[in-house]
Structure 1
Amino acid sequence: MDSGKERVNTVFIRNKMSDDDIGHEQGVRDFEFWYTYIFFALVVIFFAVTNRLIKHYGTPKSSSSSVYDSWLWRNLSVSLLHGLLVGIWSIMSFFDHLEDSPTIYEDPLYYFNTSSYLMMIASTAYFFYDAMDIVLSRVIKKNVEIIIHHFVILFSFGYYWHAKVGIGYAHLSLLAEFSSFLLHARKLTRIIGYSSDSLQYHIFSI
């Protein structure tokens, strides 16, 4: 009975779709899915390696006074990198696909393009990495709200990833990542020792 309703709904939807929409639907259906897992794993490895490099070469003396301070510097630095990369990616992809049909504003639920899709998966990988970093570093008690945030994102983005819907919503939310980059940059300048009145701090207060 349910399969019959699905067929009727599919026919009804197809009758309302333009040639561009049908092409879009075909692109979603034929999108190679298996390599998204490889991409996810590579992004997790990338952030883990970045963490290691920062630990060995990029931790200032002001952040070496305690184990937590050292971890916080690395964590914020990796978050800064994610915010910068995804912030730029989301803005460039947004304008590059502004004329897509349907547009991201017309139908954010079924909006789809490869760039937005992979960007969402890259961010899913980052949030997975960051959650694991918090858990394995045993700093959950000091970062409960971050863990909750990450699991909410992992659940929603994970669903969008596998269902191939909601990409528009994910993309719009990731436009805020450049703001996160500025936030993490301000935190890092404070850790280094700059005051909130310093030029360095104000540069990231745009």
Structure 2
Amino acid sequence: MEESVGVDNRLGYCVFIVTLVSLHCINILVERRGKPKSARANLDSWRWRNLVISWIHGLVCGCWSILSIYNHPEFVYDPVTFSSPMVFYMVVFSTGYFLYDTIDMVYNKKLLEYWEVTLHHIFVVPGFWYNWHNHICIGYSLTALTAEINSFFLHSRKLLQIQNVGFDTMLYRTCSYVNLISFFLCRIIPIGFIVFHLFGSHGDIHRKQLSVAYVNCFSVIMVIVAVVNVVLFWRLLNTDLIRPFLKSKRKEQIKINGNNNQTKEE
């Protein structure tokens, strides 16, 4: 596709490179500052740095995506050909982050340990790059990046855990509940939007604007992203809702049994 008005690929690649360099500089600064004193002693310093950088990306991209949707609600009508400088450079910025995160995991030999993140990045990096390089499906990329709104709360939750903030504190519980709600709103619903637009009853209109190879690759990416999100959502539900609920039920049952025993003794 031809370049959109106000969008320049040369500037796009400059933003891409600046993103990589900036994230590396932040990584160095976080490493020099060291882990917080409140963090557990056996915490991997790489994990701390990686989470801080991911949290920063979630904050920046999350706010960026909200502003983009507010300023360009028309993207929902034609997410294939829609483009604007604001959204275009956000996709470039996020592509730079995902590539940097992949390089960071390769360098620190974390690919297998965080296999779901690796799988996500392997498909998302070339997919986003192809979109902004060819000025296509920028609207779909914006939809996908609303997930970073949730990522901010997801990484905030993990940072609270690392700093030994109690699971029963108001701060942690609020963060975990907002995280679960935003997960559904910013990850599950956007996936449904993309599937509906591209493969629903009127999806042939959008598919005709794309090559068969692109649609097939896009389908594979959507399946991978959906699987990763299901795995992640189950982990969150299990950790923040199911386990605490079962734990409270056990405590309640123990208390009831204790009261019954006391009554019998009396």
Q: TM-score by structure 2 length?
A: 0.62
Aligned-residue offset at 1:29: 6.4
2:67: which partner in 1? 92
Are 1:43 and 2:14 an aligned pair?
no
The code of the aligned residue for 2:134 comes to A
Distance 1:65 1:135 in 2: 25
CA RMSD of aligned residues (A): 1.9
Say whether residues 1:202 and 2:202 are aligned partners: no
Q: List runs of 5+ in structure 1 lacking aligned partners.
A: 1-24
In the other structure, the counterpart of 2:144 is 173
Partner SS for 1:141: coil
Q: Is the contact between residue 63 and residue 70 of structure 1 (CA under 8 Å) also seen in structure 2? A: no
SS at match of 2:140: helix
CA distance in 2, matches of 1:139, 1:83: 20
C-alpha distance in structure 2 between counterparts of 1:76 and 1:182, whole Å: 12
Q: Assess if the C-alpha contact under 8 Å between 1:90 and 1:171 holds in 2.
A: yes
Q: Which runs of 5 or more structure 2 residues have no equivalent in the other structure?
A: 179-266
**Shift in alpha-carbon separation, 1:26–1:137, aligned structure 2, 3 A:** closer
Name the amino acid aligned to 1:194.
V
Q: CA deviation at 1:144?
A: 1.7
Deviation at residue 119 of structure 1 after TM alignment:
0.1
Q: How does 1:117-128 map to 2 (within 5 A)?
A: 117-128=88-99
CA displacement, residues 134-156 of structure 1 (integer Å, 9 cap, x when unaligned): 00011222112211101111121
* Conserved 8 A contact 2:7-2:84: no
Q: 1:148: which partner in 2?
A: 119
Cα distance in 2 for partners of 1:153, 1:114 equals: 20
Match of 1:142, SS?
coil
User: Equivalents in 1 of 2:133, 2:3: separation in Å?
Assistant: 15
Larger Rg: 2
- Deviations along 1:74-119, one digit per CA (max 9) or x if unpaired, are 1011000000000001001111122xxxx21111011111100000
Structure with the bigger RCO (C-alpha within 8 Å, sep 6+) is 1
Runs of 4+ residues deviating >3 angstroms? 61-66
